[in-house]
Amino acid sequence: MSARGLHLTPDTAGGRMKGRIFDIQRFSIHDGPGIRTTVFLKGCPLRCLWCGNPESLTLEPLLSYMPDRCIACGECERACRFEAVSGGTAGATAAIDRKACTVCGECVPVCDPKALERVGRDATIGEVMALVERDRDYYASSGGGITLSGGDPVFQPDFAAALLEAARSARLHTCVQTSGHAPWGVLARLAPLTDLWLYDFKETDPVLHKRFVGESNETIVDNLRRLHGTGARILLRCPMIPGHNDRDAHLDGIAALARELPNLVGVELLPYYDLWRAKLPRLGLSTTFPETVKPPSRETMKAWNERLRRQAVKVQG
């Protein structure tokens, strides 16, 4: 694996090429036009403090455990060769020792109530496309298709390109949701295969950007300009995080960028949501992001959108 992501060897090319995914959601209506199937690829080059999909960040699978589903049958403790589960008997729910757990997944199939889940699996292009193609009629009637999301699809560029090629061969509309933080060559490779980019822009100030997501925004903005220069269709999607990037200066920075890129499909402000917090204990993860940060009200979102509209931005939503 390169520092930038996972590259696969040529002998895995074609429908048998494997990538690592953590979810496939059918009937998505927020990941591009129409009804879509969203394929979530694992791995991301950024570390946003408010990441809505913390299970996506690493390529490595994670063990998810939901104690409220545990019926204390003890099967997981018996199945685990690494002594990484204790309890799960005599009425006490199971407890996972995350340091000892190798995420081998052997406890998962023995857990009848599905309290345990291995998040992240390898899937072939053929396997993913077989699922995606089931809803072809819905795509046709709604103007939908397939969306690659994550994580970030640029983290597995070979798999993302092969999946987009397969979707193109199947005559499906393709969307890629990305932060754009990748070598330009990755985006240039995906561009001819992508009908619509859902391109994240999280912070105008490079110093704050680095503080919020772990990297400066210079590569992201540079790639955005280059992608726009290719004639790509791009929807700029901007998560709005109260107390972090909800400054007038950032909104005006978004407007300035949008004016500079006249062929943008538009700008969509995305309200922060905090449902991701509930995922952390299940995954054995923690955060220092303040719990006091709450989703913005509809009125606040409306005011932000109005500020952009006053600056001649094509606002969606």
C-beta closer to ligand SF4: residue 72 or 170: 72
Where along the sequence are the contacts to ligand SF4 (CB under 6 A)?
Answer: 63, 70-76, 79-80, 82, 84-85, 88, 94, 96, 101-107, 110-111, 113, 115-116
Owner of token pair 């991701």: 276
User: Which run of H or E residues covers position 223?
Assistant: helix 218-229
Biggest distance spanned by C-alpha atoms of the chain:
65
* Closest separation in Å from C-beta 59 to ligand SF4: 17
Tell me the chain's radius of gyration from C-alpha atoms: 21
* Closest separation in Å from C-beta 89 to ligand SF4: 7
Q: Which residues touch 101 (CB under 8 Å, ≥6 apart)? A: 63, 82, 84, 85
C-beta closer to ligand SF4: residue 41 or 84: 84
Give the separation between CA 252 and CA 122, rounded to whole angstroms.
42
* C-beta of residue 119 within 8 angstroms of C-beta of residue 283: yes
* Closest separation in Å from C-beta 156 to ligand SF4: 23
C-beta closer to ligand SF4: residue 70 or 196: 70
Structure tokens at 43: 């791995």
* C-beta of residue 288 within 8 angstroms of C-beta of residue 240: no
C-beta closer to ligand SF4: residue 107 or 190: 107
* C-beta of residue 89 within 8 angstroms of C-beta of residue 107: no
C-beta closer to ligand SF4: residue 76 or 213: 76
* Closest separation in Å from C-beta 75 to ligand SF4: 4
C-beta closer to ligand SF4: residue 88 or 239: 88
169 three-state secondary structure: helix
Instruction: Compute how many other C-beta atoms are within 10 angstroms of the C-beta atom of residue 160.
Output: 26
* Closest separation in Å from C-beta 101 to ligand SF4: 3
* Closest separation in Å from C-beta 116 to ligand SF4: 5
C-beta closer to ligand SF4: residue 76 or 146: 76
C-beta closer to ligand SF4: residue 66 or 261: 66
Task: Please give the angle made by the CA atoms of 80, 83 and 86, to the nearest 5 degrees.
Answer: 95
List phi, psi (to 5°) of 255: -65, -40
Strands 145-149, 94-96: pairing is: unpaired
* Closest separation in Å from C-beta 122 to ligand SF4: 16
* C-beta of residue 191 within 8 angstroms of C-beta of residue 182: no
* Closest separation in Å from C-beta 281 to ligand SF4: 14
Cβ burial of 105 (10 Å; 0-12, 13-18, 19+) is: middle
